[in-house]
Structure 1
């Protein structure tokens, strides 16, 4: 297979499985035929080897597994977006099919009812009544099947949505979920504060102890912040950065709670799981800002305060003022 004919091969593959040539299905076919995804290849080969045709709901399931298995965060997000889109399309198709079936049942029963109203007697009457009962029973079975499919689609869609909004490593909301939370606050015109938190010298942890320990450090900080700052949500903003959203216009209050969390974390005696060797304290720096006209400006102000905290020695929490110089939270 060459790059020149891959497009035709993908379209032929989709046509052979009676799949619409949508962008999502094309991506699935491309990843399979180019052997670019181990999960997609293994799952699809199983279906083909057993002589089964790929159905749309099968594609949804396989693409979801592909998303979960990918090491590339952007790939996971893209694949999950596609899975959500496919779930919605499948639900729409199912709803339209159910309506067509309901319309057909209505027409059939109306025809038999008309025959009864026109004076059907004897065997004709019995036959009309029997056909109405049989058609109603068939419709009930079809409706039950459709209802089960809808329930499964709803569960799968909810799972896909949840995965798309959760950071897989730490289990807390990710950047996308945080953006949605901020948007909701702004729509409701709620005053809020944000804190951007960055682990100090995180690269040193990775370089000294390895990425596995670095991942455990991220989970440790995520759990510590989530517990200390509840009920305010803590999310992973990216890399070793976390973001807190507090439904309060009091930046000093948020800064105080973040400082308490910072000091509690720094006081913990951490040891390496593998050797029981002390690894020193984990500290972080943070910048806090009250919301202004736009969320981007608010986040920028918090980020600037974080930068000042890093520049002035780390392990501190600074507040971005409405105007003037950055203030120390201590």
Structure 2
């Protein structure tokens, strides 16, 4: 399939299935026609081979499966954004349709009511009353169907929102969620401290044991930190970095808790699941900072303290100074 014709072919494919050329549908058509997604191709081929038309609900379901099967975080982000867009568009359409239905019901009932007011009797009166009842019942069913669709879309949207704020590997909040938490603290003018935590020699874990073991190590550290530092929230900041937010104005208090979490983690007797071979302890370094005028400045200071902890030999927690030298916590 020539690159020059792919756009036209996608639009023809969508038109043939009576699908609107929305961004999501276009991406679906493109991935299918270029055979770029195994999930999309297998699902769509099944529909086509059985002579079934692709409906919008089907596209949403298939694109969701495609995103879930993808290792590309951009695909998962796109799926979340599409779920939000679909909800907003469909909710707007349903609202407009509900208004049209209500207007139609009002006109129909007004016409039948006029017949009754003009003195209809016998079968004419009975027929007018029956048509009013039937029309009202029809409108109730249509509104119920619209409400059910909104409920399903709301569940999809809630799921998309939740996924957008959670790191898929570890199940803890991600960077986006953490940024929102920090922003809320600053809006409420709450004093807080940040602890930036980085696993020591994480690359060596991946290189020695492989990425699946590295992923399990990240999950283990996430669980250990969440447990040791509760109720303060721990998030995956990126890669092998984690961030803890403590609503306290004392950096030393947070640093002490982080140091305790470090020691607790280092005491674990870790073994490889596949061979029962000892792995040795997992340690981390951390930098802690009390909030400054801006969150970016606080993060910069915590990162500087983390850098100094790495330079000092790792397996160390240091406190970023508000001025002066970095302080040693553990």
CA distance in 1, matches of 2:119, 2:190: 68
Residue in 1 that maps onto 2:269: 269
CA distance in 2, matches of 1:8, 1:329: 63
> Any conservation in 1 of the 2:83–2:156 contact (CA below 8 Å)?
no
Residue in 1 that maps onto 2:51: 51
Q: CA deviation at 1:114?
A: 2.2
What SS does the aligned partner of 1:259 have? Answer: helix
> Any conservation in 2 of the 1:292–1:298 contact (CA below 8 Å)?
yes
Gaps of at least 5 residues in structure 1 are: none
Task: Judge which range, 79-88 or 103-112, deviates more.
Answer: 79-88
Q: CA deviation at 1:308?
A: 0.9
> Any conservation in 2 of the 1:224–1:265 contact (CA below 8 Å)?
yes
CA distance in 2, matches of 1:236, 1:223: 11
Residue in 2 that maps onto 1:178: 178
CA distance in 1, matches of 2:226, 2:177: 15
> Any conservation in 1 of the 2:308–2:318 contact (CA below 8 Å)?
yes
CA distance in 2, matches of 1:304, 1:121: 89
Residue in 2 that maps onto 1:35: 35
What SS does the aligned partner of 1:249 have? Answer: coil
CA 1:51–1:239 in structure 2 vs 1: closer, same or farther (change >3 Å)?
A: same
Residue in 2 that maps onto 1:25: 25
Residue in 2 that maps onto 1:248: 248
Q: CA deviation at 1:317?
A: 1.0
Q: CA deviation at 1:3?
A: 0.4
Aligned length: 330
CA distance in 2, matches of 1:188, 1:14: 49
Task: Judge which range, 50-59 or 239-248, deviates more.
Answer: 50-59
CA distance in 2, matches of 1:95, 1:42: 35
Residue in 2 that maps onto 1:80: 80
Residue in 1 that maps onto 2:310: 310
Structure 2 residue 137 is the aligned partner of structure 1 residue 137: yes
CA distance in 1, matches of 2:257, 2:72: 34
Return the TM-score normalized by structure 2: 0.95
Task: Judge which range, 29-38 or 72-81, deviates more.
Answer: 72-81
Residue in 1 that maps onto 2:8: 8
Gaps of at least 5 residues in structure 2 are: none
List aligned pairs for 1:1-330, cutoff 5 A.
1-330=1-330
Moved over 3 A (4+): none
Q: CA deviation at 1:236?
A: 0.9
Q: CA deviation at 1:82?
A: 2.0
CA distance in 2, matches of 1:64, 1:327: 48
Q: CA deviation at 1:24?
A: 2.2
CA distance in 2, matches of 1:248, 1:114: 71
> Any conservation in 2 of the 1:60–1:87 contact (CA below 8 Å)?
no
Return the TM-score normalized by structure 1: 0.95
Q: CA deviation at 1:288?
A: 1.1
CA distance in 2, matches of 1:49, 1:250: 66
CA 1:188–1:45 in structure 2 vs 1: closer, same or farther (change >3 Å)?
A: farther
What SS does the aligned partner of 1:4 have? Answer: helix
Q: CA deviation at 1:214?
A: 0.9
Task: Judge which range, 114-123 or 161-170, deviates more.
Answer: 114-123
